[in-house]
Structure 1
């Protein structure tokens, strides 16, 4: 009788232990989350840290001429998949691809704070090596260990922050009036004020607008500015190209298509005069002819940006 009672007690204890395990949600050998006497395990810490960096992280140089973005797409077992976009020299070089499905960073998880990755550039440079470290400030440190063979524009080392927290000036649109002569003077004399009043578009948006321009023209812009058109149903951009001759063009874009464009400025050193412009608060545009020597100017033409996005000449 005692033997039967003893066996019954053991069976009840065994069943109770199994139920206790189920009630805590711990499925042994089926999950990477484990518990031990020290509290949270290393595997659980690793999972938490890595989930926290999914998404886009960005770095920008102090003069805003360079920007580097990493988009962490997924973690699978001990592997990481991501892509970067690097904007160099105000967009003169774009080490990017606008197709969000393309991955150019692959690597392994070394520990809960560190990734080791291989990367290729979008200029066909191959097999670069880098490490990505989660800092104590919950930022990311990118450091190239071995440069890829070929052309690339990723920074050798930088600290990235979550993109939503990256400090920007307003909404990065230029408030009117947009005075091209004033812009040039500030760029040469008061750099800080110039950057505040005339911020250039950067990053993914720069790549997108350059792509739209290249599909419709043969121009390769050196600078692109978005003007504040009063939140009309389209976006307005001024793009500048520099070389043997300089030019500035206004485009209105809707649904990733150019719906109107107008040449605003033009300069050729051999000529006695050049064309410049001002876009006023009421969305009228004055185009001037300016003498190189005397700096005297006269109005050549006037235009109006219409509510529907068209650009009409004012007679």
Structure 2
């Protein structure tokens, strides 16, 4: 009897040991698998904005914009800091990157200088991601001299930027669009993405001074591009695939001092009508339809 009990006890111990060993082994595998999981990376590129404004004020008390260009694990950026309701401005009208840093562990750290004194000692900053559409800026040490960038603030991604649309995986469709309603219906990004500027310049030999996506179709994104470089204000309608401008047409021209201007409208059927307009009276001059990435003339 004692021998049988001893044998049963031995078998029970062996079973318990085997189960414990298997459980430990499985946990080890789980830890390895979790360790090797890919952590989603933040897309830092784009225009980010912070505003401090009271409800009854016409202009913000403070405004801080940060336009970031990411190249691998490095970034360069240009900021524009406005304080005292526009009384103090730390900005540069031309493109000049005054912020540079490195992406590491979900944050950006680096150096920046003020446009008041770019020759002095640079300041240190840190940018942390809150989510796909919000980041936090923090000054670790200030630059030498005067600067108006906030010590700490939360910036939101500008909704008109390419990255905001991609991060939310939403298709843009603002149609119908008419030239006379541009200011109220279309929000142009004043500093277009670098790839868009380069591709537009290569295609049309013009600068992209403002951009806004208005619809997507057949795997192409279609943008309105503003050019303010000459005597006339020009608007182009372009198609984009990936990060390349595939084609485009000139749809608006203020024609300098001329009383006749070029205007346009686009309906829900992707038909583009271009007019010669004089004192509010329109005469149809050209008509296109956007189909399979091309602007096809009727």
Q: TM-score range by the shorter chain?
A: 0.5 to 0.7
Q: Does 1:178 align with 2:180?
A: no
Q: TM-score, normalised by structure 1?
A: 0.54
* 1:223 paired residue number: 210
Q: Does 1:299 align with 2:284?
A: yes
Q: How far does the alpha carbon of each residue in 1:104-158 deviate from its partner, in whole angstroms, 9 at most, with x for none?
A: 3269xxxxxx99843479xxx5652134387xxx963333711699xx9x94555
Which secondary structure state, in structure 1, belongs to the residue aligned with residue 142 of structure 2?
strand
* 2:256 paired residue number: 269
Q: In the comparison of the two structures, how many residue pairs are matched? A: 223
Shift of 1:226: 0.9
Shift of 1:240: 0.9
Structure 2: state its 5+ residue gaps: 1-38, 52-59, 82-91, 129-133
Q: Does 1:311 align with 2:295?
A: yes
Q: Does 1:236 align with 2:201?
A: no
Q: TM-score, normalised by structure 2?
A: 0.56
Shift of 1:234: 1.5
Which secondary structure state, in structure 2, belongs to the residue aligned with residue 216 of structure 1?
helix
Q: Does 1:286 align with 2:273?
A: yes
Match runs of 1:88-237 below 5 Å: 93-95=94-96, 104-105=100-101, 117-119=110-112, 128-132=122-126, 140-143=136-139, 145-146=142-143, 155=149, 157=151, 159-160=153-154, 171=170, 173-183=172-182, 187=183, 194=184, 197-201=185-189, 206-229=193-216, 231-237=217-223
Q: 1:270 to 1:145 in 2, by over 3 A?
A: same
* 2:131 paired residue number: none
Question: Hey, what's the Cα distance between the residues in 1 that align with 2:64 and 2:171?
Answer: 14
Contact 1:286/1:302, CA 8 A, preserved across alignment: yes
* 2:15 paired residue number: none
Which secondary structure state, in structure 1, belongs to the residue aligned with residue 197 of structure 2?
helix
Shift of 1:215: 2.5
Question: Hey, what's the Cα distance between the residues in 2 that align with 1:115 and 1:298?
Answer: 53
Contact 1:172/1:226, CA 8 A, preserved across alignment: no
Cα RMSD for the two superposed structures: 5.0
Contact 1:118/1:128, CA 8 A, preserved across alignment: yes
Structure 1: state its 5+ residue gaps: 1-51, 75-81, 98-102, 108-113, 188-193
Contact 1:176/1:228, CA 8 A, preserved across alignment: yes
Which secondary structure state, in structure 2, belongs to the residue aligned with residue 215 of structure 1?
helix
* 2:19 paired residue number: none
